[in-house]
Amino acid sequence: MTRKNTQRGFTLIEVMVTIAILAIIGLASSNVLNTMVRSSEQSEEAIERLQQLQYAMLTIEQDIRQIVPRQNATGQFLFYDDERLAFVRGGWFNPAMLLPRSELQPVFYTVRDEKLVREHFLYVDVSGSEEPVSQVVMDGVRSLSVRFYAGAQGQSQVQGAGDTRGRTTGYSDTWDQPQSLPAAIEITLDAERWGAMRRVFLLNGGEFVARVAAPPPAEGDDAGDGS
């Protein structure tokens, strides 16, 4: 007698159901993976934009706080007109004066093609043929506006000395004192992502005076021994 083979494979319906289940699982996994990738990209973009904003504010602060009473190419200490701000700052690092320039740096801020651009020149007395060094500080900037604070007592620094003649207190949209500096400058940036951002920066050359720590006593100084 012959024994009949009772083993059998999957039916076509079972195979199709299995394929459909695997396809659904794969599609769901793909959607989850795409969502995670997009979230990661958005997080990285947000972090990058935040870092750019922090860098822009830090750069502006360092420049403004070190403005010095020195004429720029416009013949003024401060020039502001139509989203353009120009001044001369000090503290431009030049170790042991090895580079063929001073520590003063003419700086120019403007908005160009929805970008906040910082330009500087190598020499304070700019020649007509000299090209500036341009740097994009921040993207997506729609406008730049500046206001100037004359100080509570209406005082400013003129050629290193106080002058209170013909000055008004409070904020002003224009600065018509070519040979003087305000106590503070208010910067407002209108950016696509952040909206209107307003910061006030004090000037070391105005009423604000940076506090400098006293130097340590010289060796052998007996001023504090009680004798």
> Scanning the structure block, which residue is given the tokens 């659904």?
24
Whole-angstrom distance, CA of residue 122 vs CA of residue 107: 10
- Give the CB-side neighbour count of residue 224, counting CA atoms within 13 A: 4
134 confidence band (pLDDT: 50, 70, 90): very high
- Among candidate residues 152, 147, 165, the one with its CA nearest the CA of residue 208: 152
Neighbours of 104 (CB within 10 A): 18
Stronger pLDDT, 31 or 147, i.e. the higher one: 147
- Return the pLDDT at 227: 42
Strand-strand pairing, 156-158 and 171-172: unpaired
pLDDT digit string (tens) for 154-204? 444 443 444 444 455 688 898 888 888 999 999 999 999 889 999 999 887
pTM for the model stands at: 0.66
Q: Which two tokens stand for residue 187?
A: 């910067």
Q: Which two tokens stand for residue 19?
A: 């394929």
